[in-house]
Chain A
């Protein structure tokens, strides 16, 4: 069955550094991947979408890559700030009109 996984449960980095989060998928080829941010007790908030024919997408300090050979997407936050601390979720279209989410990576940016 199709799977989407985020290997790191938690990532701690120093303010100003680049955070890199990983999302891997198996047993299918998603047409796109989406990245969301989730703060404690809140709903996911959409950040970026990257299509399978796009190698890279940027939005301000955020960058997403999509490598169909490695079956992987990387999510980068450059010049990270304590306010970037949150859980980041990757998601793709599931087997139908739904999103399938990875388990999330909890990012902590320390001042």
Chain B
């Protein structure tokens, strides 16, 4: 069964450094998402992406964050200047259609980001 893959599985970065988290969504999916989960807390929405542009973003997704689909397969999340509070699991997800279509989202296994 096709799956969403994320790399790296664990990223350790010094505060203030830039980090790029990478995702390969399922190939025939059109909608892409990033969520984060701080240890022991809820899964929180960051951003959704469709047709090469952001369709929704949360308050968490401020100017330090950006997303890109640089080619036909990868979907990346960049944090420009990391802060201690950015430490979390970051999950990428994809779906064939958007949330309004009632279809489930398929999640990767996440990147654990640790900011020192």
Residues in chain A within 8 A of chain B (CB atoms) = 31-32, 34, 36, 41-46, 49, 51, 89, 91, 93-94, 96-104
Contact = CB atoms under 8 A, between A and B. Distances in A.
Contact of B43 (A32, A89, A96): A89
A98 B48 contact: yes
Nearest to A5: B42
A110 B33 CA distance: 35
Contacts of B75: none
A44 B91 contact: yes
Interface stretch (B66-74, B80-88, B107-115): B107-115
A110 B13 CA distance: 39
Contact of B99 (A45, A99, A102, A103): A99
Contact of B102 (A32, A36, A100, A101): A32
B102 A49 contact: yes
B65 interface: no
Contacts of A102: 42
Contacts of B55: 96-97
Interface string B23-60: 00000000101010000011111001010000110100
Given A41-B109, A43-B91, A43-B107, A98 B56 contact: yes
Interface of B: 4, 31, 33, 35, 41-45, 48, 50, 55-56, 58, 91, 93, 98-100, 102, 104-110, 112
A46 B42 contact: no
16 contacts: A31-B102, A41-B109, A41-B110, A41-B112, A43-B109, A46-B105, A51-B102, A96-B55, A97-B50, A97-B98, A97-B99, A97-B100, A98-B48, A98-B99, A99-B45, A101-B42
A98 B100 contact: no
Contacts of A98: 33, 45, 48, 56, 58, 99
Contacts of B42: 101-104
Contacts of B106: 46
Nearest to B33: A98
Contacts of B4: 43
B98 to A, nearest CB: 5
A23 to B, nearest CB: 13
